[in-house]
Structure 1
Amino acid sequence: MAEDLIARIGAALAEVSPSDRRPIYRRLSDLLARELRQGPAGTRLPSERRLARELGISRVTVRRALDELSAEGLVLRRRGARSAAAVRLEKRLSSLTGFSDELRNRGMRPGQRWLSRQVVLPAPSEALALDLAPAEKIARLERVRLADGHPIAIERAAVPLAYLPDPGLVGDSLYAILAEGGTPPVRGAQRIRAGLMSGRDAELLDSRPGAPLLIVERRCFLADGRPVEFTETRYDGESYDFLTELQPQNGTYQSEMA
């Protein structure tokens, strides 16, 4: 609760050691950082005005403390909205895991906001990725992915109708539906590039135009090599890190100078 947070911050500010020569904004920043690290991601902070009034300090001091937290990536600040604890996730590139399972493995609640589920003709990139003729229709699924209710990615998946004749069957997990139909993907390939949010991206991700994006294109295949899925996911670059494990080639280190 905001009242409890303000009470804890106020008590800590009042118990300043004489040897603590940090400016007030820095002490406030450190105390808020401790609260945010201990609380759930996406937690809303009290407004600048309320923090200043309840703590008996100036709004300039509060704003500077929040600016410090924003620079450290602990707080997301939106014009016209209260600051909130940043949601930051790590995604490993070495495993073929669905979004929902990935979040559950990290103790977070997955969710989505559906934008469309329809049968359509493929875009040229989709037809090429899925080895389809331009006139062969696909199931296209477009949704905003949520982590603990916070939007972090826009996903557009394309699947041949042979494997997903009714896109309305998909709930939380596309992979679960494909597995039920006996066509689970067994391997995949990904391409990652950087981008900037358009106005639509920013609106869907509760961000701002021009904010960083990580754009991932993924092709997944059946055991016999046929492509079963082509997905473009546009991740909020302020919320996602991608991790991969590096190993020496053939188990040994090689020198470029050899």
Structure 2
Amino acid sequence: MPDPVGARVDRGSPVPLYFQVASRLRAMVESGELPAGSRLPGEAELVGRLGATRPTLRRAVSYLVEQGVLARKRGAGTRVLPPPLARSADLTSLHDDLLRAGRTPATVLRRCAAWPVDDGVARALGVPPGTVATRIERLRLADGEPLALMTNVVPVSVLAPRVEDLVAHGLYALLRSAGHAPRLARQVVGARAATADEASALGEPPGAPLLTTVRTAWDDSGHAVEYGTHLYRPSRYAIEVTLPTGAAAPASA
């Protein structure tokens, strides 16, 4: 395998050696030299190619694991992960977005039950407290890798989903089939630390930072069709937003 130009570390540079090695490895991933799903070459080969010591290489690999570029799995070595899903801030479902990105979505249904909504969810949906709705809790995977924990509340007057449909299809596809296609939504994006249960489900350490979204969606008639709270692994997921220029620039920023 030929060495790319500038692949070896520069010991005279002020840039830390481990970061130089990590940058070289990331460039090899982005160029396709190390394709998604492939195993990282052995330590001896990489040490020879990059001119780094084994401790420096190991620190670089650990850094790329933290960044979501590589993944370690006992018995399977270190492999290259697919690039994070960059999802535009449109009114689409994660299931549909994964399909469009050429990824393979899968769903683990953790809970599905109907019960009266509490006051907070009732306000979000614009329904009286105690209205019966279906609470759906799912783990969404992409190419077999945990990506998101999703909790959605759907009034039973809008949709009474079947378990097999929730496993095979995205929620928005089911809403469209029921004649309640989401047309407008309000979404709030934030972050918080993972609980022990959430971390275990997503393959993250307890307390790891997670990206959060809270969304209420309405159909053409103005009826709220779902209230969702989702948790995402930030190393595997990003939200892209296009910001148009306003009519006039603000006086200060």
**TM over 0.5, yes or no?**
yes
User: Given the alignment of the two structures, is residue 146 of structure 1 paired with residue 134 of structure 2, yes or no?
Assistant: no
Cα distance, 1:213 vs structure 2: 1.2
User: Given the alignment of the two structures, is residue 186 of structure 1 paired with residue 183 of structure 2, yes or no?
Assistant: yes
Q: Quick one: which of 186, 190, 204 aligns to 1:207?
A: 204
Cα distance, 1:162 vs structure 2: 0.7
Aligned partner of 2:171: which letter? L
Aligned partner of 2:158: which letter? Y
Matched residues in 2 for 1:115 and 1:217: separation?
19
Matched residues in 1 for 2:55 and 2:8: separation?
21
State the secondary structure of the residue aligned to 1:33: helix
Matched residues in 2 for 1:152 and 1:144: separation?
8
Q: Quick one: which of 99, 108, 112 aligns to 2:103?
A: 108
Residue 14 of structure 2 corresponds to which residue in structure 1? none
Query: Identity over aligned residues, as a percent?
Result: 29
Residue 10 of structure 2 corresponds to which residue in structure 1? 22
Matched residues in 1 for 2:161 and 2:67: separation?
45
Work out the number of aligned pairs and report it.
Answer: 238
The 1:115/1:41 distance shift into structure 2, 3 A limit, reads farther
Q: Quick one: which of 42, 53, 57 aligns to 1:62?
A: 57
State the secondary structure of the residue aligned to 1:253: coil
When structure 1 is superposed on structure 2, of 232-241 and 36-45 the one drifting more is 36-45
Cα distance, 1:133 vs structure 2: 2.9
Q: Does the 8 Å contact 2:9/2:20 carry over to 1? A: no
Q: TM-score, normalised by structure 1?
A: 0.77
The 1:208/1:41 distance shift into structure 2, 3 A limit, reads farther
The 1:122/1:235 distance shift into structure 2, 3 A limit, reads same
Over the aligned positions, Cα root-mean-square deviation in angstroms equals: 3.3
Residue 165 of structure 1 corresponds to which residue in structure 2? 160
State the secondary structure of the residue aligned to 1:204: helix
Q: TM-score, normalised by structure 2?
A: 0.78
Matched residues in 2 for 1:91 and 1:128: separation?
28
Cα distance, 1:152 vs structure 2: 1.3
Q: Does the 8 Å contact 1:109/1:147 carry over to 2? A: yes
Aligned partner of 2:219: which letter? L
Q: List runs of 5+ in structure 1 lacking aligned partners.
A: 1-7
Residue 84 of structure 2 corresponds to which residue in structure 1? 88
